[in-house]
């Protein structure tokens, strides 16, 4: 579904991503883990078109989207749930959701939008209760739900999520992760970027480890979970030390 080859990108003169190569198949949950500043967010911003790649190619459904602006990429079916939620705070919850449906409305899918709204309200009943509230007044967890709901309204083939668990309590975090699993069961493809490596690898099929802009490791999620280096660096567990004890 998504194929990235030798992607390089950055801000101004600063090069953040160095020769990143990865792929995502339809129906997979793929996660990218890495420390702060490894380039995870930059990678997602580059795929979604908010940052122009410097070189390399991004193929989505066999089409090169590397040079398209963000608003076109959404129309092709590739949505990003941005870091820090980025909802439209001074607008109501319902308006936020409606704006998410903009690509569908443009494709004259107005009838389907009504069903889609019911569908996301089915996934997030809390949002229905707060339909008329200003989005900025929601709690952090609710805002995250709204951001996911808004992205779903575009009926994306690939949904990318940037740190959906950031700043949430463990309980709500669990909710969000179970929703991600549910999205996959409904046939969605998810690219998940997380600092919480353990939770992310727990629900993912495959994972990539990003360090200072390079992919240093990749593999099935279980393999990464049991990998010593990954455990030491990202899961806070040092197997070597445990053995010597």
Partner 1 sequence: MAIGFNIIYNTTGIINFAQGEFVMLGGMTAVTFHQFLPLPLAILCGVAVTMIVGAVIEILFIRWLHKPSVLRMIIITIGISILIREISLHVWGESVRALPYFTGTSVTSYQLGGVYLSPQVLWVIGVSALAVAALSAFFNLTMLGRQMRACSANRDAARLCGVNAGNMVTLSFMLSAAIGAIGGAVICPITYVHYDGGTPLAIKGFTVAILGGLGNSMAAVGAGMILGILESFSIWVLPAAYKEVISISILLIILFLKPSGIFGSAEAARLKDF
Q: Is 179 in the site for partner 1 (CB under 8 A)?
A: no
Q: Is 91 in the site for partner 1 (CB under 8 A)?
A: yes
| Cβ distance to partner 1 smaller for residue 27 or 110 | 110
Contact 8, 46 (CB under 8 A): no
Structure tokens at 201: 């690898």
| Cβ distance to partner 1 smaller for residue 71 or 186 | 71
φ/ψ (deg, to 5) at 165: -95, 5
**Rounded Cα gap, residues 191 and 162, in angstroms:** 9
Q: Is 134 in the site for partner 1 (CB under 8 A)?
A: yes
Q: Is 112 in the site for partner 1 (CB under 8 A)?
A: no
Among 18-26, 30-38, 44-52, 199-207, the segment contacting partner 1 (CB under 8 A): 44-52
Structure tokens at 45: 């911003």
Q: Is 154 in the site for partner 1 (CB under 8 A)?
A: yes
Closest approach, Cβ 6 to partner 1, in A, equals 25
Q: Is 98 in the site for partner 1 (CB under 8 A)?
A: yes
- What DSSP state is assigned to residue 137? G
**Closest to 123 in 3D by CA, of 91, 146, 96:** 146
**Rounded Cα gap, residues 217 and 91, in angstroms:** 42
**Rounded Cα gap, residues 177 and 124, in angstroms:** 13
- Report the residue from 18, 35, 50, 219 that binds partner 1 according to the rule CB under 8 A: 50
Q: How many of the chain's residues bind partner 1 (CB under 8 A)?
A: 31
Helix/strand/coil percent split, the chain, to 5: 45, 25, 30
Among 14-22, 132-140, 172-180, 193-201, the segment contacting partner 1 (CB under 8 A): 132-140
- What DSSP state is assigned to residue 169? -
Q: Is 71 in the site for partner 1 (CB under 8 A)?
A: yes
List contacts with partner 1 (CB under 8 A): 48-50, 69-71, 74-75, 79-80, 82, 86-91, 95, 98-100, 102-103, 105-106, 134, 136-137, 150-151, 154
């Amino acid at each position: 579904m998504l194929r990235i080859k030798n992607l390089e990108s950055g801000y101004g003169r600063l090069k953040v991503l160095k020769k990143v190569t990865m792929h995502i198949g339809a129906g997979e949950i793929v996660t990218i883990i890495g420390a702060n500043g490894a380039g995870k967010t930059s990678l997602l911003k580059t795929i979604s078109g908010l940052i122009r790649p410097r070189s390399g190619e991004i193929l989505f459904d066999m089409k090169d989207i590397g040079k398209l602006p963000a608003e076109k990429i959404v129309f092709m079916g590739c949505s990003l749930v941005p870091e820090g939620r980025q909802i439209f705070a001074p607008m109501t919850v319902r308006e936020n959701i409606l704006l998410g449906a903009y690509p569908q409305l443009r494709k004259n899918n107005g009838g389907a939008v009504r069903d889609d709204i019911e569908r996301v309200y089915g996934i997030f009943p809390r949002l229905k209760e707060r339909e008329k509230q200003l989005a900025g007044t929601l709690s952090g967890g609710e805002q995250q739900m709204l951001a996911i709901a808004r992205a779903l309204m575009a009926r994306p083939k690939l949904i990318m999520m940037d740190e959906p668990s950031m700043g949430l309590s463990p309980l709500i975090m669990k909710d969000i992760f179970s929703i991600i699993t549910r999205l996959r069961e409904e046939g969605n493809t998810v690219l998940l970027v997380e600092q919480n490596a353990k939770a992310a690898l727990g629900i993912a099929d495959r994972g990539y480890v990003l360090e200072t802009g390079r992919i240093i490791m990749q593999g099935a999620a279980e393999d990464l979970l049991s990998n010593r280096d990954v455990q030491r660096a990202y899961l806070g567990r040092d197997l070597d030390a445990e053995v010597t004890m």
